[in-house]
Amino acid sequence: EKDFGALGHGSGQVKEPMAVESLAEGAVCVADSYNHRLQIFSKEPGAAPRVIGGDGPGENGEGDGPGQFSLPVGVACDGTSLYVADTFNHRVQKLRLADGAHLGTVGKADCTDGDGEREFKCPVGMCVAAGLLYVCDTYNHRIVVLGTDLTWRYTFGRYGRRKGEFNEPVAVAAHGGELY
């Protein structure tokens, strides 16, 4: 057991964290949403967290450049890369886990929303399973399926209350070959 984080903007402090992803060797990646960054906390006592993002031109560190975020809400890892639901920039970013280097982005170049292929409207929850990245495209009421190389595969779901329909999906998980 380990407690970490406290309210604030400094290293090791968080403001409304909205997602956590376990990493190798006991590390934890936290989507420090209102600080517009990720923090990777080691299991080593007293170690400073590694910070990715939060260095944008906005008042609170938000930005729309590569490796910058505007309300990162979802995070997933495949062991070598981090995938970030950059919610208010309406995109998904891929970062190298080892050093946080930007590897790619899916979404409109001007960070506006859309509902076509390679477009999102507030992506939120995500998970990696069997070499695919599943993303909750919340306000498009669908799940987007990408390759871990960020190639667009397909979508499923639409707005509604029947089987296979969604009303603002915000979380997705995989277990035992099933998607929830």
Tell me the pLDDT of the chain (180 aa) as tens digits. 566 777 888 888 899 999 999 998 889 999 999 999 999 999 888 889 999 999 999 988 999 999 999 999 999 999 999 999 999 999 999 999 999 999 999 999 999 999 999 999 999 999 999 999 999 999 999 999 999 999 999 999 999 999 999 999 999 999 999 999
The confidence score (pLDDT) of residue 1 equals 53
Triad 165, 166, 172: Cα angle to 5°: 115
Any long-range contacts for 13-18 (C-beta under 8 Å, 24+ apart)? 14/39, 18/72, 18/73, 18/74
Hey, which residues does 135 pair with through a beta bridge?
Answer: 126, 144
Triad 40, 107, 150: Cα angle to 5°: 65
Residue 163 near residue 169 (C-beta atoms within 8 A): no
What's the rounded Cα separation, in Å, for the pair 47 and 125? 28
Closest by CA position to 105, among listed 56, 64, 141, 51: 64
